Amino acid sequence: MASVKFDKLRKVYGKDVVAVAGLDFEIPDGLFVSLVGPSGCGKSTALRMIAGLEEPTSGRLIFGDQDVTDREPRNRDIAMVFQSYALYPHMTVSENLQYGLKKRGVSSEERSISVKRIAHMLHIETFLDRKPRQLSGGQRQRVALGRALIRDPEVFLLDEPLSNLDAKLRVHMRAELATLHQRLRKTMIYVTHDQLEAMTLSDRIVVMNHGVVQQIGSPAEIYNSPSNRFVAEFMGTPSMNMIPCTLKQENGEPRLIAKNLSIPLSKQVASLASRTEVALGVRSEDFEIGAPGIVGGVDARVLVAELTGAEKYIYLELADAKVIARAPADSPICAGDNVSLSFKPHQMHVFDGRGDEAAALRAA
């Protein structure tokens, strides 16, 4: 049993480089949790503190019911997959896999049984005698995974393990990782800056920015109800459209106003706002495009129509903001057209302000 609990864990490099400003949450045993965020937000640092490779400046780290803050990496019952794979170059694949077992005094018969089992599971039987440099990227990746799996640790740590692979292999390995987790049900902590990877793999997502946790939740929660503007814009491709609006009372009813746009807002939500300069967030799939002049629609002009394959991205100018909407691939819309955009009212997000940290306003 190993849940991983962060107790105000903080890391400051030197005097004032705050890499992780304070993590304070618990990862229940057996979950697949992703840490996501832009480059430099402190994901690796957080992971390395869990591994014991980086000493926290303050705070405690607790596995299950044991405080492991001061334990050496080797005494933490963890395994880690590095972005660079970090396979031992002078050892064969088989020796790479066995090294951890050897260090733990496992007999050579047992080791070779384990190697067979892992090699079979990861389809690397045929190159057990090769050195890492004689392997392709995907094969190295598997060996690195195998080296972590073979020891059967309580907690798996993965630092961008797929980022060095080409797109096709990434998708493939992503699926393999998901199956592995299904099967092993071990706590896995996965660092990535690829929000799609996080969405598809995780039970929980932890979104970080500037060393601060922005939101923790299931992929659906994070996607459907982002807690602030940063999360809203970071998760999802294309990123959520933001339309700067002003919150006004008209005839006693609160409305979001921007140029030719005027949308009614529930009183409850409006009462939560601390200012009038707000932003309206709409995901590209939550627009409906219709002929100009439709009731309840807002007129917009098509700037570009971009075919991605399965669908079209329609770039539009809407109330001085540039937004992206989705349309079916066979949609006849093209650049220069005038259309009318309507919104699905339940899929609108209102943010209290224009900065990254602007909180989402949501009726209870």
Partner 1 sequence: MISLSMRKRFTSVRTYLLVALLLMFVGFPLYWMLMSSLKNSSDIVRLPPVWWPLPTWEHYDELFSVTKFGRWFLNSLIVCSMSTVIAVFLGVIGAYSLVRLKVPGKEVLARSVLLAYMFPGVLLVIPLVLVFSHLGLINSQFGLSLAYLTFALPFVMWVMRDFFGSVPVDLEEAAMIDGASRLEALRDVVIPQAYPGIIATSIFAFLFAWNEYLFSAILVRDHDLMTLPPAMANFASAMDTRWGLVMAASTVATLPMAMAFAFLQKYLVTGIGAGGVKG
Ligand X SMILES: Nc1ncnc2c1ncn2[C@@H]1O[C@H](COP(=O)(O)OP(=O)(O)OP(=O)(O)O)[C@@H](O)[C@H]1O
Residues that bind ligand X (CB under 6 A): 13-14, 17, 19, 37, 39-45, 193
In the complex with ligand X, the residue whose CB is nearer, 55 or 317, is 55
- Binding partner 1 (rule: CB under 8 A), the pick from 5, 140, 142, 151 is 151
Q: State the alpha helices, DSSP H only, in the chain.
A: 43-51, 93-103, 108-122, 137-149, 167-184, 195-201, 219-224, 229-234, 267-272
3-state helix/strand/coil string of 37-94: CCCCCCHHHHHHHHHCCCCCCEEEEEECCEECCCCCHHHCCEEEECCCCCCCCCCCHH
User: What is the pairing mode between strands 32-36 and 241-250?
Assistant: unpaired
Residue 40 binding: pick among partner 1, Mg ion, ligand X, none (C-beta 5-8 Å cut-off by kind): ligand X
329 binds, among ligand X, partner 1, Mg ion, none (CB under 5 to 8 A by kind): none
* Count of Cβ atoms closer than 10 Å to residue 113 Cβ: 12
SS3 158: strand
C-beta closer to Mg ion: residue 192 or 202:
192
Rounded least distance, CB 44 to ligand X, Å: 3
* Cα→Cα distances 60→7, 44, 190, 205, 250, Å: 5, 17, 20, 21, 52
Give the residue, chosen from 4, 5, 32, 44, that forms a contact with Mg ion under the rule CB under 5 A.
44
Closest CA to 199 of 186, 211, 187, 190: 190
Q: Which of 41, 46, 51, 321 binds partner 1 (CB under 8 A)?
A: 51
Closest CB 183 distance from Mg ion, rounded Å:
27
**Nearest approach, Cβ of residue 243 and Mg ion (Å):** 33
Nearest-approach distance from CB 33 to Mg ion, in angstroms: 16
Verify binding: residue 86, partner 1, rule CB under 8 A. Answer: yes
**Residue 36 and residue 43: Cα distance in Å, rounded?**
7
Stretch that binds partner 1, among 2-10, 21-29, 62-70, 100-108 (CB under 8 A): 100-108
Question: Which lies closer to partner 1 via its Cβ, residue 152 or residue 306?
Answer: 152
Nearest to 205 by CA among 229, 244, 172, 235: 235
**CA dist 90 to 85, 112, 130, Å?**
14, 19, 10
Interaction partner, residue 99 (partner 1, Mg ion, ligand X, none; CB < 5-8 Å by kind): partner 1
315 touches partner 1 (CB under 8 A):
no
Which among partner 1, Mg ion, ligand X, none contacts residue 185 (Cβ within 5 to 8 A by kind)?
none
* Smallest separation (angstroms) from ligand X to the CB of 208: 7
Per rule CB under 8 A, is residue 164 in the interface with partner 1?
no
Count CA atoms closer than 13 A to 77's CA, side-chain side.
Answer: 16
Instruction: Find the angle CA(280)-CA(342)-CA(331) to the nearest 5 degrees.
Output: 120
CB 359 to partner 1: min, Å: 38
Q: Which residues lie near partner 1 (CB under 8 A)?
A: 51-53, 72-74, 78-80, 82, 84, 86-90, 99-100, 103-104, 147, 151
